[in-house]
Structure 1
Amino acid sequence: MQLPIQSQSTIYAEPWEAAAGPGDLRAVAVAADRAGFDYIASCDHVGVPRRLAPAMSTIWYDPVATLAHLAAVTERVRLLSHVAVVGLRHPLATAKQYATLDHLSGGRLILGVGAGHVREEFEALGHDFGQRGAVLDEAIDALRAALGPEEFPEHHGKFYDFEGLGQLPRPAQPRVPVWVGGSSLAAVRRAALKGDGWLSQGDPRDRLPEQIATLRRLRAEAARGGAADGCSEEPIVVGAITEPLYVGRPGWEVGRRTVTGAPEELAESLRAYRAMGVHQIQVRFRCRSRDELVDQITAFGAEVAPHLDH
């Protein structure tokens, strides 16, 4: 699940999050950890321009600091950047942060990356917004090298060039998974050619089968042509963001798109994603308080998740 509180876009934030703090964030992370969730995720924005602030808000916690903080209070749940706009930073700086996070968490990092969409962020940090796709393509390659097993990583490309600079600690994982976020054709192609996973950015159910078919076709073509640079030989992990959920029958207005009902009903609805070829789903719960969210997470883990494999 994407964590609440750490990002508060008006598209999805609940009213109670505005007054929430670190203790609430920790409680939610611990609940997800105990309920058996696969990962918790944190977003990435350096700064939000005034023109977008009314919709996006300016509340965006730093993902590395947030996930490192939560690694210390959780035991098994994985830690996902969904997504890190890696083109805003040099790959060696990104690798230093995320390698340390993986080392401190005992190998729980999943590095989710994306191109970004806020022009002003790129311009303020001295980067070319128009080249962000090409930069991301190379940044993934550079990060593969910088997060690999070598103490002195090496990469030579158009945008980044480095060698002879040692970085310790290394990640605890032999290979840090890189999941590519985005639903444009360019993002799907990038995931197919360079990713270990694809993070759909909210594609509706009726669009997912076509997206997944394109992803698999592009990956198969790249594999046959030897163009899947840096990809794992394992099948790509396909992700989807579900509709908002509420376990049970809510006594309040949760919105027409929210999927509600008994655990078996929710599980039946969510199993449709697996039939499409989705391997992992990211869920979000409608809630009026931290305690209600923790209750929803706990109920989902105990009562809905066991039905998902049936």
Structure 2
Amino acid sequence: MSPVNHPVRLSYGIQLPVQSQSTLYTEAWEAAAGPEDLVEIGRAVDRAGFGYLACCDHVAVPRRLARAMSTVWYDPVATLAHLAAVTERVRLLSHVAVVGLRHPLLTAKQYATLDHLSGGRLILGVGAGHVREEFEVLGVDFEQRGPVLDEAVDALRASLGPEEFPEHHGKFYDFAGLGQRPRPAQRHLPLWVGGSSPAAVRRAALKGDGWLPQGDPRERLPAQIARIRRLREEAGRDGEYTVGAITEPLYVGRAGWDVGRRTLTGTPERIAESLRAYRALGVDQIQVRFRSRSRAELIEQVGLFGAEVAPRLD
């Protein structure tokens, strides 16, 4: 049996706008947007058959980074729970939760409750983090964030399993005899690991149920995916595994305005043909982003993708 058993079809998800407003990807209209916009976009994503909607995680952004990153970063648990209540089937992804900033029992309490309330729709995406000041103000060793995340994943596996009284004994965390309910609705809650550094890819291969790359262009994906396969095979890891990719920005149809040279535009078939190439690289799910000038235009793009592009992906 192959060490990477892929899901049957190429699925698609979206990182929500509004909830994080880095200058790298935020559209101008998002600055004045708020909860009502998130709800309407979440409902549109749900209707359009997207596999997941995703939300980022930063506790506090230092002044030195605020001009580029902004300080708008909605809390992922609160945001995903809010959207769980107004959607029906779309899965809820933390992309990514910096779980090393919090004790695993606290993280487990939050995300187990979210999975319970949403009827088992959570995908827990985790990552090491990159903002030193966030770690320092919370009393976490920034230089140890990799080893901390490695152990946090193990502790979360125990804490998010079916046992009411989880147990973990490690270097950074040690607990037993402490019960937590409600338990997650899913008996095995999928855990995807984010990041594209060598350490992150190794962690994704050996500790995750999936990989969430950070900005890898298409030409880098084959080598990264081959390494994941090799590491899993060498470690005897088997079972279903989800390889992700973040696509180029998209605009379905003729834009009529400057959407940027990297943006993939045109007919649904042209866009689908380009995106199908990800599957040939070994990718199982793609995360898409649409250029837009308003909430209405974004919702229109989401609907067009779901109705016209998605059926052509397989």
State the 1:92 CA deviation: 0.1
Partner of 1:267: 272
State the 1:56 CA deviation: 0.3
Instruction: State the distance in 1 between where 2:53 and 2:239 align.
Output: 23
Structure-1-length-normalised TM-score: 0.97
Partner of 1:255: 260
Aligned with residue 78 of structure 2, among 65, 79, 97: 65
Partner of 1:45: 58
Amino acid at match of 1:266: I
Q: Which runs of 4+ in 1 moved over 3 A?
A: none
Matched, 1:103 2:108: no
Partner of 2:172: 159
Q: Secondary structure at the match of 2:79?
A: helix
Partner of 1:287: 292
Q: Secondary structure at the match of 2:15?
A: coil
Name the % identity: 80
- Unpaired stretches in structure 1, ≥5 consecutive residues: none
Instruction: State the distance in 1 between where 2:302 and 2:137 align.
Output: 39
Aligned with residue 23 of structure 1, among 33, 36, 39: 36
Aligned with residue 283 of structure 2, among 271, 275, 278: 278
Provide Cα deviations, 1:11-40, integer angstroms capped at 9, x if missing partner.
000000000010000011000000000000
Instruction: State the distance in 1 between where 2:76 and 2:117 align.
Output: 15
- Over the aligned positions, Cα root-mean-square deviation in angstroms equals 0.5
Aligned positions of 1:176-187 closer than 5 A: 176-187=189-200
Instruction: State the distance in 2 between where 1:160 and 1:129 align.
Output: 16
Higher RCO (CA 8 Å, separation ≥ 6 residues): 2
State the 1:117 CA deviation: 0.2
Instruction: State the distance in 2 between where 1:15 and 1:199 align.
Output: 26
Partner of 2:240: 235
Instruction: State the distance in 1 between where 2:230 and 2:261 align.
Output: 35
Provide Cα deviations, 1:170-198, integer angstroms capped at 9, x if missing partner.
00000100000000010000001100000
Aligned pair count reads: 301
Instruction: State the distance in 2 between where 1:23 and 1:235 align.
Output: 36
Amino acid at match of 1:130: E
Aligned with residue 212 of structure 1, among 225, 231, 247: 225
Amino acid at match of 2:124: L
State the 1:235 CA deviation: 3.2
Partner of 2:3: none
Q: Secondary structure at the match of 2:96?
A: coil
State the 1:73 CA deviation: 0.1
State the 1:169 CA deviation: 0.2
- Unpaired stretches in structure 2, ≥5 consecutive residues: 1-13
